[in-house]
Structure 1
């Protein structure tokens, strides 16, 4: 890779990591759990597995302590 490619990659990497953590934190809150549990994804080998499991886990029914259910709020508008 040339210098320009490294520069672009090094600028995009933090943005992609930040957005990935934000999406995962929203998913944890959708399951009525703390968004801080996104830090579990940093555990080697187990972290991606945990992220995969929580990504397929159904969200809590109705409103939870973090707000209304996103599907219901979308359908009501």
Structure 2
């Protein structure tokens, strides 16, 4: 749950930096669980009250979550040293979605890359920078 809240609170529209696999996949898991919960609750309320407006709760959630979902996916791609534009690979029919899942599940680069420091190894940042010229 802390990973979901980290994406929502701290990195709502942050497309810079890197995101660990755990951050991305925990966000996806909790996002899926919340979406299922909202669908069930709004469907139950719409059925009990005969007011279909409760279905709109799901669409409000989806609209609110689009930007953080894109941001965490872009930061996840940055962790494997790929541009955020690689997210558009998912638009390729059949193979694109599979390729995107493989990219998002790939272990990130060790050490800093062009998108920032290694999010797994925050404590050793000084050691990685020893001997490098800035």
Q: TM range, normalised to the smaller chain? A: 0.7 to 0.9
Please identify the structure whose Cα radius of gyration is greater: 2
Q: 2:116 aligns to what SS in structure 1?
A: coil
Give 5+ residue unaligned stretches, structure 1: none
Structure with higher RCO (Cα < 8 A, 6+ apart): 2
Q: Deviations for 1:51-74, whole angstroms, at most 9, x for unmatched residues?
A: 32012211111000011000111x
Moved over 4 A (4+): none
- 1:18-77 CA-partner distances (Å, limit 9, x unpaired): 32221111111001111121122234433431232012211111000011000111xx18
The verdict on how the C-alpha distance between 1:21 and 1:6 changes in structure 2, with shifts beyond 3 A counting, is: same
1:37 aligns with 2:86: yes
Shift in CA distance, 61/35, structure 1 to aligned 2, threshold 3 Å: same
Q: TM-score scaled to structure 1, two decimals?
A: 0.76
Q: Aligned residue for 1:50?
A: 99
Give RMSD over aligned pairs. 2.1
Q: Is 1:23 paired with 2:34?
A: no
**Alignment length, in residue pairs?**
75
1:6-17 matches, within 5 Å, as 6-17=55-66
Between the aligned partners of 2:70 and 2:92, the Cα distance in structure 1 is 14
